[in-house]
Structure 1
Amino acid sequence: MKVEEIERLMLEPLSPTPSCFLSLSHFDMKYIFHPYMQGVAFYPGSRSDVQNESLIHQARLSLSKVLLHFYPAAGRLALSSDGNSYGIDCNAAGVEWTVARADFPLDNLDYSQPSPDFSALIRSGKYGSSAAPLGSPLLSIQVTRFSCGGISVAWAADHALADGTGRVHFLVSWAESCLKGEISQVPRIDRDLGPQQLDYPRASDFSPVASGGHDLPKSGNIAMSGRIFCFERAYIEKLKEMAGVGLSRFTVLCAHIWINMCAARDLPDSTSTTNSMAANCRKRLAPQLPDDFFGNAVLHAVATTTAGELRKGGLRHAASLLEDAVSTSFGMEGITKKLSSKGIAADKLGRNCNMLCSSSPRFRYYEIDLGWGRPEAVRHVGLERLGLDGLCMFNPHPRSPQGIEVTITLPTWTLERLRRLLEDAWSAYLSCETK
């Protein structure tokens, strides 16, 4: 299978944008030097070359228009003039734009599960398992045309630019610009966090290692594999019923996977195990940040127990641990403490007894209609290259409203054991329903 690049350029905003230096906040600095976040959306079809060329031209024009609002995406990561802080130089240098051609039909690419082949669909943004140097594009977009007329649209974004909420806001706004010529929610670019803002972090306090960047902890030389697990609404509702009222879909599913992951790893009862859940802090700050805040506002709530206690307490106990971690981590005192620490608790990641939950089933990935209709599938790219044992990415289920897809990376044999355990749990649920 061959993917050939036919166009690459730096796409600038359609007209002049504000020229300024946006100092990175403490939220942003948690993710500086972090590997670029990569994803790809698949649009099957049998469109003609003429149709696709027209839609690609419109997508490119709409991208240059939406950059008028999201102009930091066209900037570059840089040091301040005094060298004391990192920030985004909003210099309109451009977004990396690539068009490529695949010599095979989209049907030949199995996108029902993660695949290393996806990396060929975002080659321009191949920042992989390390961060790009200062001055690199903060965002890369690649549109790939398949021989059948199908399309993929892939992206790679510097995490210092924005968190998942901000990235999805950008992608959905780009889609709106394509179809309607305007966007429904103009982003807030100002990164001032208000009274709770600490002094802007000094560059000397952050290095690639301290920030969880180039040297994210990994499980030795053990290769990671990825698999997508699909949980439909009925199954999640059953989990919520078992765990108790008032819990979110995200929390109960995190707890369910945590229990089964410990079992799949065959952890001794005395082994300490940690679950780190990424949480959007926009509404947890005082004053609150608006939903349209374009930057980072994510911290991790960390719950710790032993494998034995988790097994003994069951789903209700695991869910309550996660709920308690969120409530204690995200009062203003907890947020300030986390913001004043360096890095992203990197010592908690990548160990073979822990779990890291990120992304969100609320992200509107399936609204990214750029003229080819809604995507049939949206996938993360390159997670296995990060080498993080126990990474779980939660996304919406495209065919089950209120359902959730979870992409999990584990060593191959552990992942297979987890698959069997989760399937057994599903079979047990179906058996109970038919009695």
Structure 2
Amino acid sequence: MLSSCDINSLVEITSRKTIKPSSPTPPHNRILKLSLLDQIMPPTVYGTILWFFPNHNASDFASKSSESTTPKSKRLQDSLSKALVQFYPMAGRVKSPALIECNDEGAHFLEARVNCQLSDLLIQPNPESLNHLMAQNDPKTANEALGSTLLLVQISVFNCGGIVVSVSASHKIADAASFLTFVRAWAAINRDGVLELQLGTPEFTGGSLLPPRELSLPSSKVNLEIPTQSLVTKRFVFNVSKMVSLKEKIGSVVQAFIPSTSHLVLAIILKCSIAASRQCKPESSIKPTVLSQMVSFRKRIVPEKSENVMGNWFWPIQVLFKENEIELHDLASKMRQGLTEFRNEKASRFKGEDGFLVISECLRERNDINSANVYRTSSLCKLPLYEMDFGWGKPAWVTSLSVLKNIILLVDTKEKDGIEAWVTLDEQEMAIFESDQELLAFCSVNPSICHSGLVLERCVIVRCVLYHPIVPLFIVVRKVKSLRY
């Protein structure tokens, strides 16, 4: 198991490059007008997803020398360069809140060596370790690129030949669906040499459907600054099978209502978070609670927008809970009610003049609830995260995380039998939250990633060494140390 101190000394950035499109962007595509939704996104907000690939054939991915580049690394750079021809704005630069200059300046591409085994990290993955695998956390990259460069990539190679591909795309240009469209295209080119026909051509048409406007509302700028107080981020994995009876119980309380698995997971997390907050700060019990839930409306707008249409096609809906609405059935049913109302009344309106009116209306509503305890959630569930194949097979693990206060990020497990939740809370609140017995009845706290023998094989070795009656004690000590237990 790696600590934050371990990973800091084990990760070395070996190269920093700029990857430009393999052919220049035509003059008529050099300026991209963003949509109103893209316009109001802060330029420093990036969505990041990390793909973890084990080395199945025992071949080394990259040379241990910081001076050389192996064929596999070179292939990734070449395929990225080809992908950027189709996704040309991602190689451009932010010039104003509503404008991208598609000038082919390129994406930032980092390579790193990690002086341990991939399985060492996956025994108990922690945010401190993952942060070192994300390009935006490299000080030099952050200083040169954040807020202007639209695409950051870091390739981290472990001693075993395992690799982590970390991709960070600016929210000025892509939501989760269009972000994954780009990565699928890059992976297909790297794997097969050409872009799959079924992926289609990306479209950058948001600015014509929902033109940018001047917004004078004080709440139009989303405040996503990281607060100064001590925060803790932890991973919880919920077992879907453990929640079947709970769904039925809620259905008996709220007639004709069975919550979705993700809403039930959110309800459990929210209930235990509220309890922890009230225990730490009793005065917070008189405040209402708000859940800001990111909701895609791609399929609700007319005509509906496929994943090939780049840009932002989601909105954070605000679900307000009164002080006494803290039971699971209250929380889950109000989430569903808020989602239904948004889809029926607002989701289809995000275009033209009506789009400006509905966004202004939503921003006013958001400004009216500033005194509440606000939790934010985003879900990557049901997205094809595990379908990314760069030519080395499917990933062993895919994850994403954020360190903003009171944020909950949901991701499906590989086998679809559970939901991983990354939760960030105040340090004191997290100490209470992670010990809540109602929470622990449905989830495990940061279990190992056991897949393709990565961790399981090492666990078996430990058991054999410790319990074999003939193995000398000094070998036991050496083996256990090498496994970082």
TM-score (structure 2 length as normaliser)? 0.74
User: 2:46 pairs with 25, 33, 36, which one?
Assistant: 36
CA separation of 1:254 and 1:66: change in aligned 2, threshold 3 A = same
1:403 corresponds to 2:414: no
Counterpart of 1:15, as a letter, is S
CA displacement at 1:228 relative to structure 2? 1.2
CA separation of 1:345 and 1:61: change in aligned 2, threshold 3 A = farther
Counterpart of 2:161, as a letter, is G
Instruction: Specify the alignment match of 2:272 in structure 1.
Output: 260
SS at structure 1 position matched to 2:85 = coil
Contact 2:272 2:439 in 1 (8 A): no
Instruction: Specify the alignment match of 1:168 in structure 2.
Output: 180
Instruction: Specify the alignment match of 2:232 in structure 1.
Output: 225
Instruction: Specify the alignment match of 2:156 in structure 1.
Output: 144
CA separation of 1:44 and 1:343: change in aligned 2, threshold 3 A = farther
Once structures 1 and 2 are overlaid, which stretch shifts more, 4-13 or 292-301? 4-13
1:65 corresponds to 2:76: no
Instruction: Specify the alignment match of 1:82 in structure 2.
Output: none
Instruction: Specify the alignment match of 1:359 in structure 2.
Output: 379
The C-alpha deviation readout for 1:270-291, integer Å capped at 9, x for no partner, is 3210111100010121232223
1:309 corresponds to 2:325: yes
Contact 1:35 1:131 in 2 (8 A): no
Distance 1:90 1:344 in 2: 34
CA displacement at 1:295 relative to structure 2? 0.9
CA displacement at 1:162 relative to structure 2? 0.5
| Equivalent pairs, count | 406
Instruction: Specify the alignment match of 1:379 in structure 2.
Output: 399
Distance 1:412 1:394 in 2: 20
CA separation of 1:258 and 1:402: change in aligned 2, threshold 3 A = same
Distance 1:64 1:72 in 2: 13
Counterpart of 1:116, as a letter, is E
Once structures 1 and 2 are overlaid, which stretch shifts more, 21-30 or 267-276? 267-276
CA displacement at 1:144 relative to structure 2? 1.5
Instruction: Specify the alignment match of 1:431 in structure 2.
Output: none
CA separation of 1:407 and 1:190: change in aligned 2, threshold 3 A = same
Instruction: Specify the alignment match of 1:5 in structure 2.
Output: 13
SS at structure 1 position matched to 2:409 = strand
Contact 2:34 2:211 in 1 (8 A): no
CA displacement at 1:107 relative to structure 2? 3.5
SS at structure 2 position matched to 1:168 = helix
User: 1:391 pairs with 396, 407, 413, which one?
Assistant: 407
Counterpart of 1:12, as a letter, is K
SS at structure 2 position matched to 1:62 = helix
Counterpart of 1:323, as a letter, is R
Instruction: Specify the alignment match of 2:287 in structure 1.
Output: 271
The C-alpha deviation readout for 1:366-417, integer Å capped at 9, x for no partner, is 2222233322222325x22x3x2x200111112x325211111012332232
Counterpart of 1:322, as a letter, is M
Counterpart of 2:441, as a letter, is A
Counterpart of 2:166, as a letter, is A
TM-score (structure 1 length as normaliser)? 0.82
Please report the RMSD computed on the Cα atoms of aligned residues, expressed in angstroms.
Answer: 3.3
Distance 1:223 1:90 in 2: 39
1:48 corresponds to 2:59: yes
Counterpart of 2:420, as a letter, is E
Q: Of the two, which has the highest radius of gyration?
A: 2
User: 2:338 pairs with 316, 325, 329, which one?
Assistant: 325
1:191 corresponds to 2:205: yes
SS at structure 2 position matched to 1:4 = strand
The C-alpha deviation readout for 1:85-119, integer Å capped at 9, x for no partner, is 62222222211112222233334435743322323
CA separation of 1:35 and 1:270: change in aligned 2, threshold 3 A = same
Distance 2:170 2:143 in 1: 8
Distance 2:365 2:160 in 1: 45
SS at structure 1 position matched to 2:300 = coil
The answer for unaligned runs of 5 or more in structure 1 is: 80-84, 428-435
The C-alpha deviation readout for 1:40-75, integer Å capped at 9, x for no partner, is 222233733367733222222221222222222111
Once structures 1 and 2 are overlaid, which stretch shifts more, 16-25 or 276-285? 16-25
Contact 1:30 1:343 in 2 (8 A): no
Once structures 1 and 2 are overlaid, which stretch shifts more, 131-140 or 300-309? 131-140
Counterpart of 1:409, as a letter, is T
Report sequence identity in percent: 24
User: 2:32 pairs with 4, 22, 34, which one?
Assistant: 22
CA separation of 1:91 and 1:243: change in aligned 2, threshold 3 A = farther
The answer for unaligned runs of 5 or more in structure 2 is: 1-8, 64-69, 252-256, 350-354, 444-485
